[in-house]
Amino acid sequence: MAKLKRRAALSAAALCLLLAVTAASAYIRDSQVRALPAQSGQIMEEASDPLTAFRTERAQLRERQRAELNDIIHDAATDPDTLSSAKRRLMELMDSERAETDIEGVLSARGFEETLVTVSATAVNVLVRGETLDRRKTAVILDLVLRQTGVTSQNVKIIPINP
């Protein structure tokens, strides 16, 4: 049980750290990549786009989390409490992914061209492509996130990402 809790805590911490590092380094990475000569338009675009880079990193981290949980679930030596906890954590992971997809889809339908959302049990981060967000746009995003997730408003971070 302690092993599962450690793995789950490490996975959650890694996802939070990944979000912080990606958001903080987006401007630096973007300017560095633009200074390099273009070898391939598509590779250059993907490398310089912080939302694409984060989306890729998030998918890779989620896949590792899912694999670790499945290893625990399918291990014949796993005790019943750990098995139950691993199954619950896998369902939470799937619920977070579903909420992220729903929020991103609704925001897209509401006119936000590109967003990236991360949902955990206690916090939500929304990265939005755009120079600035006015109060009305921020209120629209916040309202949607609160309705979809049930987290409190002080646990929602809305972060504009320059185009």
Residue-range domains of the chain with CATH? 2-161 (1.10.287.4300)
- The pLDDT value recorded for residue 156 is 96
Alpha carbon distances (Å) from 16 to 13, 106, 121: 5, 23, 12
In terms of average pLDDT, the best of 11-15, 38-42, 151-155 is: 151-155
Average pLDDT over residues 1-6: 54
SS3 37: coil
Judge whether residue 158 has pLDDT over 60: yes
Tens digits of residue pLDDT in 73-130: 999 999 999 999 999 999 999 999 999 999 999 999 998 888 999 999 899 999 998 7
- Quick: pLDDT tens for 23-68: 433 333 343 334 444 444 444 444 568 888 999 999 999 999 999 9
